[in-house]
């Protein structure tokens, strides 16, 4: 059945099963990606028929743009804080909802809820919370820290993005850690208990080492997601105040579609791709080495 010999037979099988999905994949991913690479080295914007080779000029323009460099550093800071907080909280939540208490499925559902709703809507919800509710609480309780909107202060606006990012993703990563925790053989934990290991020792010596796969996946996903975050950024802070919370994704979008700088914009987008790809590959490789068998 699977031994087509003639070319015609092979073409038939291919067009039957593989042509349409591969055509869509090529048209939507491969071609724009290849053209994107061309764009970063030329002055071509996809419109004109003439192309001039510009070498690394677009990249030079990108790196000499102080707004881009600032955006790069804000993004790195954002990724770092979101990565750590999301995974610590998600792991904690997973421990909590696998402890065997009453209603743990209900709690799982609750913690996961933000992941059902798109970033645009989540950002608007929190815009209301930060600009109205928290300010109101600050006034009523007379707390200096909350009495003016965090969204109007460059330092605090950054933290609103982190808070919403962590709130949103931790429920998703919790599910990954639940999968990891339930995959640990019960017999191992019982044996440890008999040997007199405390709960804390069981956690550090048995659960964590056996869950490296879950950590690898969760850290990978958090990295990937937080590097390209756009929608919450758009609806919560819109990059403000004074472009202080303009994450890379928004910076690239504005550069291309607001200011029409296609070449440098695409170079910036490509830098984003290189960063994401490099970090993701290094992270997965490094963590694979830590994995142990039960």
Which residues, numbered 170-229, are part of the site for another protein (CB under 8 A)?
171-172, 175-176, 178-179, 193-194, 213-214, 217, 221, 224, 227-228
Q: From CA 24, how far away is CA 174, in angstroms rounded?
A: 34
Q: From CA 31, how far away is CA 276, in angstroms rounded?
A: 20
Site string for another protein, 153-172 (x = CB under 8 A): --------------x---xx
Site string for another protein, 45-84 (x = CB under 8 A): xxx-------------------------------------
Contacting range for another protein; rule: CB under 8 A; set: 50-58, 78-86, 95-103, 150-158: 95-103
Nearest approach in angstroms of CB 244 to another protein is 20
Please, where are the H alpha helices in 129-211? 134-140, 154-182, 186-194, 199-201, 208-210
Torsion sign over Cα 59, 60, 62, 68: positive
- Applying CB under 8 A, which of residues 11, 24, 84, 258 lies at the interface with another protein? 24
Determine if 257 is a binding residue for another protein (CB under 8 A): yes
Counting residues that bind another protein (by CB under 8 A) gives: 96
Nearest approach in angstroms of CB 200 to another protein is 14
- Applying CB under 8 A, which of residues 75, 87, 160, 235 lies at the interface with another protein? 235
Give the C-alpha distances (Å, rounded to integers) separating 132 from 138, 142, 147, 152, 159.
Answer: 10, 15, 10, 12, 17
Nearest approach in angstroms of CB 13 to another protein is 6
Contact 171/115 with Cβ under 8 angstroms? yes
User: Which residues within the stretch 104-163 sit at the binding site for another protein (CB under 8 A)?
Assistant: 104, 107-121, 124-126, 128-129, 132-133, 136
Q: From CA 132, how far away is CA 33, in angstroms rounded?
A: 43
Beta strands in 90-170 (DSSP E): none
Nearest approach in angstroms of CB 40 to another protein is 10
- Applying CB under 8 A, which of residues 70, 96, 184, 212 lies at the interface with another protein? 96
Nearest approach in angstroms of CB 265 to another protein is 6
Determine if 269 is a binding residue for another protein (CB under 8 A): yes
Give the C-alpha distances (Å, rounded to integers) separating 6 from 9, 10, 196.
Answer: 5, 6, 68
User: Which one, 158 or 263, has the nearer CB to another protein?
Assistant: 263
Q: From CA 98, how far away is CA 111, in angstroms rounded?
A: 13
Crossing angle between the packed helical segments 154-182 and 119-128, to the nearest 10 degrees? 130
Phi, psi angles (nearest 5°) of residue 220: -60, -50
């Amino acid at each position: 059945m699977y031994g087509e010999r003639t070319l015609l037979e092979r073409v038939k099988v291919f067009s039957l099963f593989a042509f349409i999905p591969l055509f869509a994949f090529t048209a939507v991913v491969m071609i724009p990606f290849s053209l994107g690479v061309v764009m970063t080295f030329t002055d071509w914007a996809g419109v004109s028929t003439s192309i001039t080779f510009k070498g690394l000029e677009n990249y030079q323009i990108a790196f000499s743009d102080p707004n881009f460099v600032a955006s790069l550093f804000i993004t790195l800071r954002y990724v770092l804080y979101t990565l750590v907080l999301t995974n610590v909280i998600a792991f904690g939540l997973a421990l909590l909802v696998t402890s065997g208490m009453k209603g743990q499925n209900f709690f799982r559902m609750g913690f996961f809820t933000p992941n059902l709703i798109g970033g645009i809507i989540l950002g608007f919800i929190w815009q209301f919370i930060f600009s109205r509710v928290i300010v109101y609480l600050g006034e009523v309780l007379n707390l200096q820290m909350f009495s003016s909107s965090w969204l109007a202060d460059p330092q605090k606006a950054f933290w609103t993005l982190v808070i919403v990012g962590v709130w949103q993703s931790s429920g998703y990563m919790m599910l990954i850690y639940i999968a990891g925790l339930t995959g640990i053989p019960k017999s191992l934990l019982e044996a440890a208990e008999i040997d007199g290991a405390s709960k804390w020792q069981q956690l550090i010596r048995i659960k964590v080492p056996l869950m490296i796969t879950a950590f690898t996946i969760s850290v990978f996903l958090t990295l990937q997601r937080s590097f390209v975050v756009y929608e919450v950024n758009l609806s919560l802070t819109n990059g403000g105040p004074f472009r202080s919370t303009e994450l890379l994704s928004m910076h690239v979008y504005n550069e291309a579609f607001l200011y029409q700088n296609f070449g440098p914009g695409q170079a910036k987008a490509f830098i984003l791709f290189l960063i994401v790809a490099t970090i993701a590959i290094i992270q997965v490789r490094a963590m694979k080495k830590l994995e142990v068998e039960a």
